[in-house]
């Protein structure tokens, strides 16, 4: 039986895919892995790299090729074809901690939670800086409800992400939504829906995912966030819509509002601090706040104070880069009583 399906959405990923796949080839548990590469209309040698591993490991590695549907569309295809008890996406330019994979798979084998959380690293390819993103629950290995998590949000939030969440496959198929296609930042949808329906969330004290950052071509770079602000807007509107019609419990609705607020704040910082046209940025930010106020007032209320701060910074011509430096400074995190990244 396959325990873990690892879905690798791949678009023109020839230069990265080899490292990603090799990191998954832990011989102790390879027979329990379902490694599914989704070639999303690549024009380079992505398919050839994948086919090499399919031939070498036919019982564990599969390839699906499709017309380009974007990151979300590739994930949708992979999730639908997943054969494992649990599923986890890994971007083609990232990799996993190979030595930790056996322990992770053995844990999943005996686990029955809807959601499992693990730690991840960010590795800045420009500076070499490695940060540890982890959860700090009172106890690892036990199940938590969303009510418990929302009551202790800062102990869990850094693992409640695309890189930290592993879903029970049956649970995902019951409550998940098709991810938005042909846009960036739809990973926020993955980390929100179906997690807001979870009855059991189990944090596991293990680093699994290595997230490569610091590339100016990445969607998370400041230039691309501004260039693709319409993508963030589209995903934000989708999340407001989906969260606004949830019928899950109070903990789940609070979770969806908190995650939507997180994307809203990302949009606000881009519009108000990265857009060189400060007036235009204020108009964009105000429009999103009004949409959130009418569609998901819980998220609007959560974001309101920071929105006012960002508007002030906008008028003072503070840049997003300056704000990011403040946000990640030791002084700020000490002031906010945030956990460090060591």
> Domains in the chain and their CATH numbers?
4-213 (3.90.550.10), 222-335 (no CATH)
pLDDT at residue number 191: 98
pLDDT in tens, 292-324: 999 999 999 999 999 999 999 999 998 888 877
pLDDT at 221 over 80: no
Quickly state the pLDDT bin for 218 (edges 50, 70, 90). Answer: low
Provide the percentage of residues in the chain whose pLDDT is more than 70.
Answer: 94
Sequence-distant (≥ 6) Cβ neighbours of residue 15 within 8 angstroms: none
pLDDT in tens, 28-78: 999 999 999 999 999 999 999 999 999 999 999 999 999 999 999 999 999
pLDDT at 124 over 80: yes
Summarize the confidence of residues 16-23 as an average pLDDT: 98
Tokens coding 311: 């508007």
Provide the angle, in degrees to the nearest 10, between the axes of the packed helices 278-295 and 229-244.
Answer: 10
CA distance linking residue 282 with residue 38, whole number of Å: 39
Chain centroid offset of residue 81 CA: 20
Tokens coding 334: 């000490």
Q: Find out whether 245 and 277 touch, Cβ atoms under 8 Å.
A: no
What is the β-pairing status of strands 86-89 and 115-124?
unpaired
What is the β-pairing status of strands 201-213 and 115-124?
parallel
Chain centroid offset of residue 239 CA: 14
pLDDT at 264 over 90: yes
First to last CA, the chain: 37
Question: Which H, E and C letters describe the chain, residue by residue?
Answer: CCCEEEEEEECCCHHHHHHHHHCCCCCCCHHHEEEEEEEECCCCCHHHHHHHHHHHCCCCEEEEEECCCHHHHHHHHHHHHCCCCEEEECCCCCEECHHHHHHHHHHHHHCCCCEEEEEEEEEECCCCCEEEECCCCCCCCCCECHHHHHHCHHHCHHHCCCCCEEEEHHHHHHHCCCCCCCCCCCHHHHHHCCHHHCCCEEEEEEEEEEEEECCCCCCCCHHHHHHCHHHHHHHHHHHHHHHHCCCCCHHHHHHHHHHHHHHHHHHHHHHHHHCCCHHHHHHHHHHHHHHHHHHCHHHHHHHHHHHHHHHHHHHCCCCHHHHHHHHCCHHHHHHCCCCCCC
Q: Find out whether 263 and 188 touch, Cβ atoms under 8 Å.
A: yes
pLDDT at residue number 329: 60
Provide the angle, in degrees to the nearest 10, between the axes of the packed helices 229-244 and 250-269.
Answer: 160
**Vertex 124 angle, CA 121 and 128, to 5°:** 100
pLDDT at residue number 322: 82
């Amino acid at each position: 039986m396959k325990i873990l399906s690892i879905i690798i959405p791949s678009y023109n990923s020839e230069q990265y895919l080899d490292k990603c796949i090799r990191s998954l080839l832990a011989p102790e548990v390879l027979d329990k892995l379902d490694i599914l590469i989704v070639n999303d209309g690549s024009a380079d040698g992505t398919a050839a790299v994948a086919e090499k591993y399919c031939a070498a490991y036919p019982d564990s590695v599969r390839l699906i090729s499709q017309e380009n549907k974007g990151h979300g569309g590739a994930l949708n295809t992979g999730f639908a074809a997943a054969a494992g008890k649990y599923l986890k996406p890994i971007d083609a330019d990232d990799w996993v901690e190979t030595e930790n994979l056996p322990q992770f798979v053995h844990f999943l084998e005996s686990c029955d939670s809807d959601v499992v959380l693990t730690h991840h690293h960010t590795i800045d390819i420009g500076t070499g800086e490695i940060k540890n993103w982890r959860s700090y629950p009172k106890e690892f290995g036990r199940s938590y409800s969303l009510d418990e998590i929302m009551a202790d949000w800062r102990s869990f939030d850094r693992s409640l992400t695309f890189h930290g969440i592993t879903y029970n496959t049956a649970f995902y198929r019951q409550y998940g939504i098709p991810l938005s296609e042909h846009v960036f930042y739809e990973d926020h949808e993955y980390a929100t829906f179906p997690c807001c329906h979870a009855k059991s969330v189990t944090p596991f004290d293990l680093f699994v995912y290595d997230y490569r950052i610091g590339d100016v071509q990445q969607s998370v770079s400041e230039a691309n966030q501004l260039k693709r602000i319409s993508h963030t807007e589209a995903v934000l509107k989708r999340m407001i819509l989906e969260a606004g019609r949830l019928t899950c419990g109070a903990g789940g609705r609070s979770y969806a509002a908190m995650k939507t607020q997180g994307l809203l704040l990302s949009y606000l910082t881009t519009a108000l601090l990265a857009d060189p046209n400060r007036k235009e940025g204020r108009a964009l930010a105000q429009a999103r706040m009004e949409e959130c106020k009418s569609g998901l007032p819980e998220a609007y209320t959560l974001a309101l104070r920071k929105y006012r701060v960002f508007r002030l910074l906008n008028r003072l011509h503070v840049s997003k880069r300056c704000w990011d430096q403040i946000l990640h400074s030791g002084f700020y995190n000490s002031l906010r009583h945030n956990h460090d990244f060591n």
